[in-house]
Amino acid sequence: MVLNKQRVAGISLLIAASLLLAIGCSDPNEAPGNTPATAPPSDGQIQRAYTMKCSLCHGTDGRLMASKAPDLSLSKLSVEERVALITYGKGTMPPQKGILDDATIRGIAKYIEQFRD
């Protein structure tokens, strides 16, 4: 059987996407931003979501400041302002709306408070 290039590309893409989903977590309910609607994310899920989505630029302690990211330990933003910033993004920071659920975004906004000096 001869497969055309489009079919091979499509099958390859499907396999790659399946592998990426399988690598993430053994239990999909433990994935950051993928909590059941009735259960709020745990502290561990919030910390994991921060590590996966924020620490590359802000560091594990909020001070790394790669890509001109602000030092979170000096932030004077309220929780609501941080929720809006995480949700909609700003500058080079991408929006997380649709990527993380609202409870996880709010959890990260509160988690960041521990970095304040």
Instruction: Identify whether the C-beta of residue 104 lies closer than 8 Å to the C-beta of residue 32.
Output: yes
Which range is least confidently modeled, 15-19, 64-68, 70-74?
A: 15-19
> Any idea which residue has 């500058």 for tokens?
91
- pLDDT of 97 > 60? The answer is yes
Query: What is 9-25 written as a DSSP string?
Result: HHHHHHHHHHHHHHHH-
Instruction: Identify whether the C-beta of residue 49 lies closer than 8 Å to the C-beta of residue 33.
Output: yes
d(CA 29, CA 8): 32
- Which ranges of the chain would DSSP assign to H, the alpha helix? 5-24, 43-53, 55-58, 79-88, 102-111
pLDDT digits (tens, 9 = 90+) for 41-56: 999 999 999 999 999 9
Which range is least confidently modeled, 90-94, 98-102, 109-113?
A: 90-94
pLDDT at 102: 97
Domains and CATH numbers, the chain: 27-115 (1.10.760.10)
**pLDDT level of residue 6 (50, 70, 90 thresholds):** low
Cβ partners under 8 Å of residue 61, min gap 6: 73, 115
pLDDT at 3: 54
Report percent pLDDT > 90 for the chain.
59
